[in-house]
Amino acid sequence: MRDDANLVQDDLFLILNSVDDAVFIDDAEGHALWLNAACEALYKIKRDDIVGAHISALERDGVFTPSVARMVIEQRTQVNIVHQNKEGKRILSTGIPVFNERGGLRFIITTSRDITELINLQNELESVQNALEDLRSQDERKNGDIVAKSEAMRGVVQLARRLAELDSTVLITGESGVGKGLIANLIHENSKRRSFPFIKVNCGAIPASLMESELFGYERGAFTGSRAEGKKGLFEAAENGSIFLDEISELPLNLQVKLLQVMQEREIKRVGGVASIPVNARVISASNLDLFALVREGGFREDLYYRLNVVPLHVPPLRERREDIIPLINRFLSRNNKAMKLHKELDKDATVLLLKYDWPGNVRELQNIMERIMITTRGGVIRPENLPEFIKSRAETESAAEGAALPEILDRTEKAVLTAALKTCGTTRALARRLGVSQPTVVRKLRKHGLRPPQK
């Protein structure tokens, strides 16, 4: 049996004729020497008609448009092109020069492959990717400003969208800064009322003496300092739309009665007026306090609570949905960079510290911290040393606690708390008030941890 070194020309041609790729061989002057069966099939030609023909004639007759062999002869290097055959199929062709021992060109070997299906698949993939991107963009627009990468937050958004299709009263609960207002806006923007006003009312920001006139309006001359022509209330302003009563727990008890009446009878009376005015506004309320606990304590009306709490929706705190932290960081980085005309980024170690922090102020706190560190950081990279001390202290306390005994954990935590408080307190008395202990206790604990007392 012969080895590879003894293969003769017929054997080589037999091998080349069995491959799937089209193979075409020209001499150094550009005359066709040989082509395999796959080349005949791909270009719809006959070997007997082609062998001996020059590349210029084959180009002129449209057999090869353009001729890769001609390009190899001109450039004396390998050439790769994508072109079409007579049927319009997309062909990937590679021309390879073969040189003799003296560096002269001897042959040009061209291989071709039909990539029409591959290009079609690539175009289909791009179309699918574009469609998915459009869907993601639509989804983000529907979500408003809400980041919902975590399973917990995705559940909140899905429920909010379902509630948007109904016209029920919704009570949104959750800690301060979690984004209850964004959820309320999401419900309105996905509801049939989206074309009408969305009126936001912070019940904790309006003085109790003005609350009734703000909500329900007043007639002309209703009280000293009122407008001569009177004024519409916020319920009237929200006609056919939605009114969002944030911090509903701050609503005075006497107005809780009137709000309940409005919700039941769907009409209001302005301050100083006698006529009932029909109103049609969906009520969405929110509270960062446990309203049911307030009911038991007598601080909130039970009947109003049940009227508001037709459909409850709880927004989890950021510490319970840490998957949302990095997307939120990236969003705030991008926005602040654009607004401040900066190009800052967050390094890996700083990101880890932000992930470890519990964010008691939730998304609002994260947003404020990101803005602060982007303003105060010099240079283009935000590193751990650029973060607020209380965030670093928290991470250090967690790291120190791993594997430590309880007394050691408490001791280190106490020192971290004292160190952080010293940054803002000018005297030991102020420090004592801040920590809720006596001044002698503060002095003793400072000595214990080797910390210097604050100086005015």
- Kindly report the CATH number assigned to the domain that includes residue 423: 1.10.8.60
What local confidence, expressed as pLDDT, does residue 306 receive?
95
Q: Indicate if 297 and 333 belong to the same structural domain.
A: no
The region of weakest confidence among 103-107, 124-128, 165-169 is 124-128
What local confidence, expressed as pLDDT, does residue 401 receive?
47
Per the prediction, the chain carries an average pLDDT of 86
Residue 245 has pLDDT above 90, yes or no: yes
| Residue scoring higher pLDDT (445 or 12) | 445
Last residue of a domain, one of 316, 334, 364: 316
Q: Indicate if 108 and 249 belong to the same structural domain.
A: no
What local confidence, expressed as pLDDT, does residue 1 receive?
44
Residue 6 has pLDDT above 60, yes or no: no
Last residue of a domain, one of 274, 296, 316: 316
Judge contact between 96 and 108, C-beta under 8 A. yes
The parent domain of residue 220 ranges over 145-316
How many domains, the chain?
3
What local confidence, expressed as pLDDT, does residue 335 receive?
92
Q: Indicate if 172 and 308 belong to the same structural domain.
A: yes
Q: What is the CATH number of the domain that holds 222?
A: 3.40.50.300
Tell whether 209 is covered by a domain. Answer: yes
Q: Indicate if 191 and 310 belong to the same structural domain.
A: yes
Q: Indicate if 292 and 372 belong to the same structural domain.
A: no
What local confidence, expressed as pLDDT, does residue 9 receive?
65
Contacts of residue 400, Cβ cutoff 8 Å, sequence gap at least 6: 408, 409, 412
Tell whether 17 is covered by a domain. Answer: yes
Contacts of residue 101, Cβ cutoff 8 Å, sequence gap at least 6: none
Last residue of a domain, one of 316, 339, 369: 316
Q: Tell me the pairing of strands 198-202 and 311-314.
A: unpaired
Tell whether 279 is covered by a domain. Answer: yes
Q: Indicate if 212 and 331 belong to the same structural domain.
A: no
At 12, the pLDDT band (50, 70, 90 cuts) reads confident
The region of weakest confidence among 6-20, 241-255, 272-286, 385-399 is 6-20
Tell whether 432 is covered by a domain. Answer: yes
Per-residue pLDDT averaged across 363-372, rounded?
95
The structure tokens listed for 344 are 């800052």
Question: What does the alpha-carbon distance between residue 28 and residue 115 come to, in Å, rounded to a whole number?
Answer: 28
Burial bucket for residue 455 (CB in 10 Å: 0-12, 13-18, 19+): exposed
Count CB atoms within 10 A of the CB of residue 88.
7
pLDDT digits (tens, 9 = 90+) for 173-231: 999 999 999 999 999 999 999 999 999 999 999 998 889 999 999 888 666 666 767 88
Q: Nearest CA to 24 among 55, 60, 2, 57? A: 55
Q: Indicate if 98 and 186 belong to the same structural domain.
A: no
At 374, the pLDDT band (50, 70, 90 cuts) reads very high
Tell whether 38 is covered by a domain. Answer: yes
Q: Indicate if 204 and 302 belong to the same structural domain.
A: yes
Q: Indicate if 264 and 324 belong to the same structural domain.
A: no
Per-residue pLDDT averaged across 53-70, rounded?
89
Q: Indicate if 95 and 109 belong to the same structural domain.
A: yes
Place of tokens 């109790």: 208
Q: What is the CATH number of the domain that holds 55?
A: 3.30.450.20
Tell whether 259 is covered by a domain. Answer: yes
Q: Nearest CA to 42 among 95, 105, 116? A: 116
- The distance from CA 112 to its chain's CA centroid, rounded to whole angstroms, is 45
Tell whether 454 is covered by a domain. Answer: no
Question: What does the alpha-carbon distance between residue 239 and residue 280 come to, in Å, rounded to a whole number?
Answer: 5
Report field, pTM of the whole predicted structure over 0.85: no
Q: Indicate if 246 and 209 belong to the same structural domain.
A: yes
Residue 406 has pLDDT above 50, yes or no: yes
Q: Indicate if 203 and 289 belong to the same structural domain.
A: yes
Tell whether 29 is covered by a domain. Answer: yes
